[in-house]
Structures are given as structure tokens and as C-alpha cells.
Amino acid sequence: MTALKVIPLGGLGEIGKNTMVIAYGDDMMLVDAGLAFPSEDMLGVDIVLPDINFLLENRDKLKGLAITHGHEDHIGGIPYILKEMPIPVIYGPALALGLLEGKFKEAGLQDRTTLRSVKPRQRVKIGCFEVEFVRCTHSIADSFSLIIRTPVGVIIHTGDFKFDFTPVDGEQFDIASLANAAEEGVLLLMSDSTNTERPGFTPSEKTVWNKLNEVFANARQRIIVTTFASNVHRVRQVLTAAMKYNRKVAILGRSMLNFANISRELGYMSFPDGLLISVDQVNDYPPDWVVILTTGSQGEPMSALTRIANDEHKRIKIVPGDTVIISATPIPGNERSVANTINALFLRGANVVYGRESGVHVSGHACREEQKLMLNICKPKYFMPIHGEYRMLVRHAELGVECGIEPDNVFVMENGDVLEVTKDKASQTERIKAGVILIDQNREWQLDEDIIEQRRHIADDGLITVVVLLDDAHKIVAGPDVYMRGVILPRGLPAEEFIIKVQEEAKRILSNTKVIEKMNGQDLTDFLHGALSCYFENEMNSEPLVLIHCNFVGDEGASKSPLSQTRSLGTEKRD
Ligand SMILES: [Zn+2]
């Protein structure tokens, strides 16, 4: 019997780039295709995507994509896939598709797929799969869990969720649909693990209102609020508070404006035209008439709030007594930059309301009791925790067993692992290649892992360049010249002396004529590189990145060689 294959390409063992392949015979579908943000050691990387080679190899099988919600870690990878291959159809919530449309237009990708928005309880066909979209509650409006009916049975993919029983948009979690699926019998549940380390229940989005109301009531000057641009519910509450306290709202940051416009157009929030003012008008109003809603909740260096905090914003300056509300918590990895922003805001005299205990933010993900509730409603035979770092997947797996799932039926997997499921059996079988693609957004191009490694190398130990001109018999004609950047020298050794030592060492290595006269240019370069690297390791106990240029008399372009270029720098200070 053909088995259903479930293959995570991203989102397991990490927070971000959620991308799940579901395949049966010659039919394949995707649930979400997200991006992740880089860790601090990924120097110069802007975004991280899953390796999509598996998709490219199986492009003929891919019948479509179902989107659970419009967060970047669920849709941000789609344009990059479309650049490489078409996707026959993409079904998803209108808000997510509205965001994608803009991205597609910018990148000229409109013709690479067909977008079809779905309503709650709508069922669509993707190849041999029937996908039912079930309204769920999360920190972005229009979120869905998916019930996927496959030839081997029913599987449920929760998407990101929490159980918010008093959602601010009145769109309640459609628990009845999940329960119906449970009556049919759920073969496999894949459930969001993000908050599995937190006990209890995540408070309702509505609880944020009380605290916002209190802060707005007490503020005597301007109020500056930052949150995730995508948190439509939160933005909506901020706008409502502004209206209640007769304040005008200036929106700062492109993504915040984009989200507000799309959400308003699609009816996810409404506000009167006169509510918004432009940044230029902020200073025309008394301070207690103004709210500034801005991006920068993660301390992103270029964001409006970070620039305001550092007094680098052209139009908005912090005035002592301003109230700043950080209505978000840092994504792991951003703690330091957020803390720096908060420090800078306090330093300029702002009253900053922030942190988990302040009540101005609640998570969009289920805590442990809610995860148990999901397991209880769906009563799956097999369980795969998804969306979380490895320890979270393990903790969530334990919950599954606590809730009565056979331990052998719980699968803690990694990206690239393949789970094969039939009606009465599930097992982890092969592994496919599942790496990452690193993108430098300015150059819109993929970065090689080698480049990142070189950058780390230079960051750790600096760079030393040695340039030498040789004749046919490999005798030195000019040089060796030595240049360095970011190198820490042995204690007490002046740079000039160190350079002389390196030059002498290079000459000594090249004087070994018996060894080098038979080498070709490349071998000679490699030989000098190896010998000098050893020398630096022994002498300095460090491993700088070493670049060698061996030029040969009579070589075409020798006059334009790095030697002649670098020589003109003369005795420039070299450290
Ligand atoms: Zn999400």
C-alpha cells in the first residue's frame, strides 16, 4: 500500500521558515513556505530560507500550496520558490494573499501561480488531497488550522494557534470542525510547539485592552506604540484607544503602513479617515493629542523606533515625559537589540512600558494547557510536534504521551526527516537533504556558506595579504609585500616589525628552491599559503584569513596585478 509521506523542509528544530511537504504517489502539496531571520553569527545575512532542491526535483508532482496565515515565517519563502518554479495554485486567507500580491507585483511573479482566497470551513482539492480551512485564533487576523483528508486518512495541521475564547475580531476558534474531524478519526496531528515551555493558558488578546486603556488614560504627552506590523488585532486596539482618548495617529515604517492599508481594504480593521495624520503633522498637534504607531519592536537597526531611541530620526525626537509602549516581546536572538532600544529611550526621558509582566503584550501561541486541549480535541493516532526548537518539540511530544498517545506513535523529527504513514502504521524512514539558503537582500542573492565562514574567520582573527612577484625560475623579483586588517599582534610587537618578520618568513619559504621550482603557479600559492598559515598559528596563536597573490613576470596583466595596486599604498599604517 502506498504510504503518505510527510516531510518538513523547515520549522522543526527552529523557530521560522515553516514549510511542510505532504506527498502521496504522484501528488504533492505544501503547507506554508516561510522564511527565518538569521542568527547573529550569520554575518551579513538578511533572511534564511529552506533548501528547496527537493521541491525542484519533484516540481511535476507539486499540485499546490495551502497557507495557514500571513506571517512571514509562513509565507515569506513563497516568492523565492516562485522564482525557481511555478506553483499551480495557492489557497489561503485573504489577508495573507493580499500581502503576497504586493510581493509578487514587486518581483514580477504574478504569472507564476494562481491565488485563491478561502473562507472558513471551505474545502478545496489539491491533487488527491482535500483541504478544509478551519478558523483558528492567533496573533494575525484570518488564521487557519487545516484538516487535510488524504487517501490514507485525516491529518490535521494546526498552523500557529492559541485558544483565544474572546478574540477581538469576534472570529472564534472553530473547535466544532476539529471535533468533527476527530469523529472521523484523526490519523496524524501536527501541532504548534512554540510555547510548550510555558505552563497554563495564553491570555486572550482582549486582556491587552485593559492595560492599553490604563496607559492611555495616564499619559500626559505623546504616546509611541510599537508592535509587529502583522499583529492586526493589536494595531486595531491601539487605534481604538487613540479614538477613545481623542488622539490622532501617525504611522511610521513601511511595513506598518502596508499592513494597515491592506487590512483596512480587506475589512480586517476600520477607522475614520480623519484619524491618521502624517509624520510631518505630528509636531503641529499638542503632545497629548498624538499617538505614533511604529515598527521597530525587535530593535531592528534601521527601524523607526530604533532611530528615534538613538536620536537619529529626522522628524521625531523623544521629549522627556513621552510614553513608549513596547507591545511585543523579543523573538529569541533579538533580546540584546531590544534591550538597547529600551535603555536609549529611558536615557532620553521616556516612560517605557515593556516586558511580559506589563500586560501590553500577549503571545499568539498556545501554552501547555492549550496544547493539551488541542490533543484532546483531535485525539490523533500519530502525533508530530512542529514549529519549535528541538527541546520544544521534545517537551510537546511528552505532552502528547501524557494525553494518551502511544509513545511509539509520537515522532520528534528534524527538517528533512520523512515520516511515512499508512492507515495502521507510521514510521520515520529515509532522510532528504534539508539545508538552508542564505539571502543578502540588498543584492537579492544567495550567499554561500563559505562566504559566511570567511566573514566569521575575518571577524575572529583578521586578514593578512601577502603579495609577491616572481620570475620564471620562481625567484623573487619584488616583494613580498604584507598587508593586514584587524589582526591582533603578539604583545609589544609594533606592526612594522611584525611585517618585516612575515616578509622574512615568506622569503625563507620561497628560498626552498628545490621544492618550489617544479611547482605551477597555483601549487606555489597553496604552498606559501599553507606554510604561512602554520607560521601565524605558531607565532601568534591565531588563524587569520591568509590571502596570497603570486604574480609572475611576463604574465598577462601583471602590471595590473594586486602587487602594483597594493604597492602604491606605500607605507600606509597596516593594522
Ligand atoms: Zn504565526
| pLDDT tens track for 79-93 | 999 999 999 999 999
Distance 29 CA to ligand 1 centre (A): 20
Residues 6+ apart with CB under 8 A from 120: 133, 134, 135, 144, 171, 174
Q: Which spans in 493-552 are helix H?
A: 495-510, 513-516, 521-540
pLDDT digits (tens, 9 = 90+) for 1-51: 799 999 999 999 988 999 999 999 999 999 999 998 776 667 667 778 898
Distance 341 CA to ligand 1 centre (A): 24
Dist. CA 211–CA 232, nearest whole Å: 18
Distance 179 CA to ligand 1 centre (A): 23
Task: Compute the average pLDDT of residues 139-147.
Answer: 96
In 3D, which of 140, 95, 92, 187 has the Cα closest to residue 409? 187
Q: What is the mean pLDDT of the chain?
A: 89
Distance 18 CA to ligand 1 centre (A): 10
Distance 537 CA to ligand 1 centre (A): 47
pLDDT at 111 over 50: yes
What is the per-residue pLDDT for 352?
96
Banded model confidence at residue 220, pLDDT cuts 50, 70, 90: very high
Banded model confidence at residue 470, pLDDT cuts 50, 70, 90: confident
Distance 182 CA to ligand 1 centre (A): 24
pLDDT digits (tens, 9 = 90+) for 378-427: 999 999 999 999 999 999 999 999 999 999 999 999 999 999 999 999 99
Distance 556 CA to ligand 1 centre (A): 57
What is the per-residue pLDDT for 441?
67
Distance 140 CA to ligand 1 centre (A): 7
What is the per-residue pLDDT for 567?
31
What is the per-residue pLDDT for 541?
79
Query: What are the residue ranges of CATH 3.60.15.10 in the chain?
Result: 4-200+363-446
Task: Compute the average pLDDT of residues 288-317.
Answer: 92
Distance 71 CA to ligand 1 centre (A): 5
What does the DSSP assignment read for 49-108?
Answer: EE--HHHHHTTTTEEEEE-----HHHHTTHHHHHHHS-EEEEEE-HHHHHHHHHHHHHHT
Distance 33 CA to ligand 1 centre (A): 12
Q: Which residues pair with 252 in a beta bridge?
A: 294
Banded model confidence at residue 559, pLDDT cuts 50, 70, 90: very low
What is the per-residue pLDDT for 575?
35
Banded model confidence at residue 573, pLDDT cuts 50, 70, 90: very low
pLDDT at 356 over 70: yes
Distance 143 CA to ligand 1 centre (A): 8
Banded model confidence at residue 513, pLDDT cuts 50, 70, 90: low
Query: What are the residue ranges of CATH 3.10.20.580 in the chain?
Result: 460-567
Instruction: Return the CATH number of the domain spanning residue range 206-358.
Output: 3.40.50.10710
What is the per-residue pLDDT for 387?
96
Distance 107 CA to ligand 1 centre (A): 24
Residues of the chain with pLDDT > 90, as a percent, come to 64
Instruction: Pick the range with the lowest mean pLDDT from 95-99, 371-375, 518-522.
Output: 518-522
Measured CA to CA in angstroms, residue 211 lies from 180, 183, 342, 497, 507 at distances of 37, 41, 19, 64, 72
Distance 139 CA to ligand 1 centre (A): 7
What is the per-residue pLDDT for 574?
32
Q: Is 460-567 assigned to CATH 3.10.20.580? A: yes
Distance 45 CA to ligand 1 centre (A): 22
Per DSSP bridges, beta strands 153-157 and 382-386 are: unpaired
pLDDT at 107 over 50: yes
Distance 180 CA to ligand 1 centre (A): 24
What is the per-residue pLDDT for 59?
95
Range among 288-302, 497-511, 522-536, 550-564 with highest mean pLDDT value? 288-302
> Between residues 314 and 522, which one has the greater pLDDT?
314
Task: Compute the average pLDDT of residues 272-292.
Answer: 93
Instruction: Pick the range with the lowest mean pLDDT from 256-270, 408-422, 476-490.
Output: 476-490
Distance 19 CA to ligand 1 centre (A): 13
What is the per-residue pLDDT for 525?
82
Distance 518 CA to ligand 1 centre (A): 62
What is the per-residue pLDDT for 507?
81
Banded model confidence at residue 560, pLDDT cuts 50, 70, 90: very low
Measured CA to CA in angstroms, residue 260 lies from 20, 249, 251, 267 at distances of 29, 12, 9, 10
What is the per-residue pLDDT for 366?
97
Distance 316 CA to ligand 1 centre (A): 31
Distance 159 CA to ligand 1 centre (A): 8
Task: Compute the average pLDDT of residues 513-527.
Answer: 74
Distance 89 CA to ligand 1 centre (A): 22
Residues 6+ apart with CB under 8 A from 54: 7, 9, 21, 432, 433, 434
pLDDT digits (tens, 9 = 90+) for 451-466: 777 777 787 888 888 8
Residue 120 CB neighbours (<10 A): 15
What is the per-residue pLDDT for 444?
59
Instruction: Pick the range with the lowest mean pLDDT from 162-171, 368-377, 526-535.
Output: 526-535
pLDDT at 208 over 50: yes
Residues of the chain with pLDDT > 70, as a percent, come to 93
Distance 31 CA to ligand 1 centre (A): 13
Task: Compute the average pLDDT of residues 201-216.
Answer: 95
Distance 74 CA to ligand 1 centre (A): 7
Distance 165 CA to ligand 1 centre (A): 18
What is the per-residue pLDDT for 552?
80
What is the per-residue pLDDT for 571?
31
Distance 32 CA to ligand 1 centre (A): 11
Distance 76 CA to ligand 1 centre (A): 12
Distance 34 CA to ligand 1 centre (A): 10
Distance 471 CA to ligand 1 centre (A): 64
Distance 410 CA to ligand 1 centre (A): 24
Distance 231 CA to ligand 1 centre (A): 10
Distance 141 CA to ligand 1 centre (A): 10
Architecture of domain 4-200+363-446: 4-Layer Sandwich (3.60)
Distance 69 CA to ligand 1 centre (A): 7
Measured CA to CA in angstroms, residue 440 lies from 37, 53, 445, 452 at distances of 11, 19, 6, 11
Query: What are the residue ranges of CATH 3.40.50.10710 in the chain?
Result: 206-358
Distance 328 CA to ligand 1 centre (A): 14
Note if the pTM is more than 0.75. yes
Distance 187 CA to ligand 1 centre (A): 24
Dist. CA 463–CA 545, nearest whole Å: 5
Banded model confidence at residue 446, pLDDT cuts 50, 70, 90: low
Distance 138 CA to ligand 1 centre (A): 7
